[in-house]
Amino acid sequence: MWNRVLTDHLDLAAFSALGVLAALVVEVWLRRTGVKHGIGWVAWGLLVVLLAGGSTLAYLAGENERAQLRHTLQGFAPTYAEELARLGHASITTATTADDPTYLKLIDAEKRWLKVNPAVNDIYTFRKTPEGKFVFIVDSETDYNHNGAYDEEREQRTAIGEEYPEATESFEQAVNGEGGFDGQPITDRWGTWVTATCPIYGPDGKVEGAVGVDFDANDWVGSILERRAGVLGFTGVALAILVGSSGTLALAKREVSRRREAEESARRAESRLQTILDNEPEGVLVCTADGHMRQLNPSSINLLELTDTPDFSRPLLSFIAPDERDRATAWLKSIAEGQPGRLTIRVIGNHGGEKWIDAHGVPMRWDNNALAEVLIVARDVTAARAAEVERERLQSQLVVASRQAGMADIATGILHNVGNVLNTINVSAHVMTDKLRQSRVTSVGRAADLLIEQRATLPDFLTNDDRGKQFPDYLGKLAGTLRAEHEEMLGTLRGMAEGLDHLKAIVHSQQSFAGNVRVEESLRPAAVFEEALKLNVASCERHHVNVVREFDDLPTATLDKHKTLQILINLISNAKNAIKGRKANDGKITLRLARGVLNGKESVRFEVRDNGVGIVPDNLAKIFAMGFTTRKDGHGFGLHSAANFAKEMGGALSVSSDGPGSGASFVLELPLSAREAIA
């Protein structure tokens, strides 16, 4: 691969392409950020010069490296040729045995040279036979992978007289008395090499053979590419400086233009703001942290009954009713400490008029985050305050009446539990709708149309036409698909029917509340758990929630089925909501069913554990309180009514959590016999 990069100059092409691409990226980015002319035509011209010059210099550097490497590599072969001639290479023939002392001495010499010069990968000698074939004479074992052992097949000694079919022009040059060099890599069964050759002269001064010295082609190509890369690197730095400086200059020009526009815009904005303040019906005033006024709009002047030229030496607190000043002082201090806040307070105007105002204050800070002043927006709520007092009186009467009737909690509970079940039914209905939209039932109509179309030649169509031959198989597969859809829809409808039955039971249980009617059944706790999960399963699947069951084998228990279901449905729904923020398939709900002990008697423990957001310690003590919730869309009725149901059945509902991010565990514990517990 690297040889092709070198031969086809792909490195130079890639560098040029990357340079142009980088400049284009900067050009596009500049234009998108508002620089109309990008880096400019001058920069583009210099870019072309840099790319052309850098590529040319890189090519010349590579060729210089190639020449130096060739000179170095060709210097080894004559030295080895002279030494081999001195050791008696001319005496070795194709008939020489492998244990010949001279042959072994030559083998040892080659091994020694290879160890001394790791850059050389192989040294061998060869001759040309009268038939014109090149055969090996002396080729020692070679440790190609440099692991200190000859453990590969290619590393073994080559037999005397073995033919070398990949001989090149340099082999011919060597046996003809001239040194040769193969600059283009040659691949044989030993690897890929560049080769230097040199003739070996016998005692008579004639060429009796030749020596070949192989070098790893990857090292050869890598050295040339590395030299070229060095030049391209310097060129790249110059290119980066050119593009970067051009981009920086363009951005600087744009920034100057933008600042001028921003200054003009700020002047216009200041004028608009002043117009708004002058016409704002609510009072807007600016004061220091200790209440000294700095700026007032006309509405605030009217609110405080001041003249058009107010006396700023009078502090704001002097307008507050004496019995309210401590609250106002604390409020200003809180704002100065960085806490925006609202305050409804009574003020006395400059002429003695008493008003109620609703004020909202925020801190105004300098660029270094230090407090500058306090901005207050106030409106007259005197009339609204009187109406609010009246509403509070009526509300108090309503709350007393509701508590006396004892129905507020009951209504809330039934609405919450009905809402849970209706949500499940709604999800199932959406699933049914999606399945019907994707149903293959329309394919039946298309199949019927095709049969009607071929009615006159139906036997021939079914036996000879390509479509007709596939028709029976198609109908079979279509029938299987429709049966599966039918079963799936029936399952969803059964779930919806069970949900409706549960709704009826919820309404019935609330209607029976006044008469204290209890409906208890002998049930398997695992079946009750599964039914509660079934009413939540569609929503769990939609949110990719993993549900894990850990059920012990428990005996039947006497339970109020629908109250137990209402509690478990609520707990599973809350667990699902607690893990909504986790990644898909990362949320997990664990349902545990085990035997327990409650008030000294055997009980059933239903546990719902999630790995969701967890609960802060301060909330654990009040999580079952009426109206308490941590969800934005929550109302605080579900867990409250669940705890009440558990208590009515003689059981208990508890919660535990290690804090935020650690999930939570809710445990419903009910006696095996509800009658014993109530008694």
Dist. CA 241–CA 520, nearest whole Å = 84
* Residue range 36-52: mean pLDDT, rounded: 77
∠ Cα 90 93 94 (to 5°): 155
| Residue 170, CB-side half-sphere exposure with 13 Å CA sphere | 20
Closest Cα partner for 536 from 579, 508, 569, 494? 569
Domain residue extents for the chain: 280-387, 408-510, 519-678
Strands 341-348, 521-523: pairing is unpaired
Q: What is the DSSP letter of 110?
A: H
Indicate whether 256 pLDDT > 50.
Answer: yes
∠ Cα 449 450 451 (to 5°): 90
Categorize the per-residue pLDDT at 183 as very low, low, confident or very high, splitting at 50, 70 and 90. confident
Predicted structure pTM score: 0.36
Q: Which residue has the higher pLDDT, 350 or 39?
A: 350
User: Residue 425 is encoded by which pair of tokens?
Assistant: 């039914």
Dist. CA 355–CA 349, nearest whole Å = 8
The CATH superfamily of 280-387 is PAS domain (3.30.450.20)
Percent of the chain with pLDDT over 90: 15
Range from 122-131, 250-259, 433-442, 669-678 that averages highest in pLDDT: 122-131
Closest Cα partner for 193 from 124, 133, 122, 109? 122
Task: State the Rg of the chain over Cα.
Answer: 46
Burial class (CB in 10 A: 0-12, 13-18, 19+), 127: buried
Q: What 3-state class would DSSP assign to 289? A: coil
Do the beta carbons of residue 574 and residue 638 sit within 8 Å? yes
Q: What 3-state class would DSSP assign to 94? A: coil
Indicate whether 512 pLDDT > 50.
Answer: no
Do the beta carbons of residue 544 and residue 584 sit within 8 Å? yes
User: Residue 490 is encoded by which pair of tokens?
Assistant: 């029936």
Categorize the per-residue pLDDT at 654 as very low, low, confident or very high, splitting at 50, 70 and 90. very high
Dist. CA 558–CA 519, nearest whole Å = 10
User: Residue 497 is encoded by which pair of tokens?
Assistant: 């029917």
Q: What is the DSSP letter of 319?
A: G
Q: So what's the pLDDT on residue 407?
A: 44
Dist. CA 182–CA 170, nearest whole Å = 6
- 243 contact partners, CB below 8 Å, separation of at least 6: 22, 23, 26, 39, 43, 47
Q: What is the DSSP letter of 323?
A: G
Dist. CA 509–CA 522, nearest whole Å = 18
To the question of domain 519-678 being in CATH 3.30.565.10, the answer is yes
Indicate whether 516 pLDDT > 50.
Answer: no
Type of residue found at 278: D
Do the beta carbons of residue 644 and residue 625 sit within 8 Å? no
Q: Do domains 280-387 and 519-678 have the same CATH topology?
A: no
Q: What is the DSSP string of 209-224?
A: EEEEEEEEHHHHHHHH
Do the beta carbons of residue 414 and residue 506 sit within 8 Å? yes
Query: SS in 3 state form for 246-306?
Result: HHHHHHHHHHHHHHHHHHHHHHHHHHHHHHHHHHCCCEEEEECCCCEEEEECHHHHHHCCC
Q: Exposed e or buried b for every residue in 289-298, given b needs 16+ CB within 10 A?
A: eebebeebbe
**pLDDT 10s digits, 615-638:** 999 888 888 888 788 777 776 778
Q: So what's the pLDDT on residue 439?
A: 62
Dist. CA 533–CA 551, nearest whole Å = 13
Q: So what's the pLDDT on residue 104?
A: 93
* Residue range 541-569: mean pLDDT, rounded: 88
Which long-range CB contacts under 8 A does 343-349 form with residues at least 24 apart? 344/381, 344/385, 345/320, 345/321, 346/320, 346/321, 347/303, 347/304, 347/319, 347/320, 347/321, 348/319, 348/320, 348/321, 349/303, 349/304, 349/305, 349/319
Indicate whether 235 pLDDT > 60.
Answer: yes
Categorize the per-residue pLDDT at 201 as very low, low, confident or very high, splitting at 50, 70 and 90. very high
Mean pLDDT of the chain: 80
∠ Cα 234 240 242 (to 5°): 105
Dist. CA 31–CA 29, nearest whole Å = 5
User: Residue 141 is encoded by which pair of tokens?
Assistant: 């074992």
Closest Cα partner for 359 from 291, 271, 308, 269? 291
Range in 73-82, 271-280, 602-611, 639-648 the model is least confident about:
271-280
Dist. CA 324–CA 384, nearest whole Å = 19
Dist. CA 487–CA 561, nearest whole Å = 28
Give the dihedral sign, CA 287/288/291/294: negative
Tell me the CA distances in angstroms from 108 to 73, 84, 86, 103, 155, one per residue in order. 22, 11, 14, 9, 15
Indicate whether 499 pLDDT > 70.
Answer: no
Q: So what's the pLDDT on residue 384?
A: 83
Q: So what's the pLDDT on residue 656?
A: 93
| Residue 333, CB-side half-sphere exposure with 13 Å CA sphere | 6
**pLDDT 10s digits, 439-479:** 656 666 676 676 677 777 777 776 777 776 676 776 677 66
User: Strand pairing partners for 374?
Assistant: 287, 363
Burial class (CB in 10 A: 0-12, 13-18, 19+), 490: exposed
